[in-house]
Structure 1
C-alpha cells in the first residue's frame, strides 16, 4: 500500500462508526499535541476529542478528491472533500478537510485537522 492509500485508510477509519465510538482507537490515531479547527468554528484538543467524539451521534460521511502531499520525511498534508449526504437534501453538508499526519516509528498519528464548510 502506498503512502496516499495508507493515509486515506486512516482518514476513513476516523470517519467510521466503529472508531468514532471507541475512545482507545481515537487516542491511538491522534497525537498528544493534536489540535483541530472544526467546521463549526470550535477548537479541539486531543483530550476533548477522545472524551466527546464517542458520545456524538454518528453521521455517515464520504471522502472525495483525496490528496497527500509530503511536507517532510515524516509529515504529510492530506486534503479532501468530506460529504455528509442527508435524505433531506437541504440538510446535507459538505466541507473541505485538511489533516497533517506525522510518522512516529512505524505508526502514523494525526497532529492537526481542519474542516471548512462549503456553502450550499
Structure 2
C-alpha cells in the first residue's frame, strides 16, 4: 500500500463562503455579491433585465458592469456598499485579492470592519438578513 505524501487543496479561505445574490455598489459601480463570508466576498457583474426588441414579453439579462474596464487592481481597498432587499444599506471596506477578467468577477477580504457592520454581515452569512 502506498503512502499519501501530500494533499493539495486550492481553497485557501479560512471561512466558507455562502452563495448569495445581493445587489451592491463597489466604489459607486453597480455589482452583485455572489458569495460571502464573515471575512470576505466574491463580487460579480450586475445584470439588468431588458425587454427583447422582438418580443417585449421576453426579458434578456444584460451586464451593467464590465470588470475588464473597471479601475481596480489587486491590493486596492474599495468601498463595498451592500444593498439588502429587506434591511438598511451598510458599507464594508473590501481589499481586492483576485481579479478575473475572463469570468468578470473579483474576490476580496474585508478590512477594518466596525461592530454594527460585522453584526449585519454575520446575520447575512447565516441567512437571517437578505
Using structure 2 for the length normalisation, give the TM-score.
0.32
More helix per residue: 1
- Higher Rg of the two aligned structures: 2
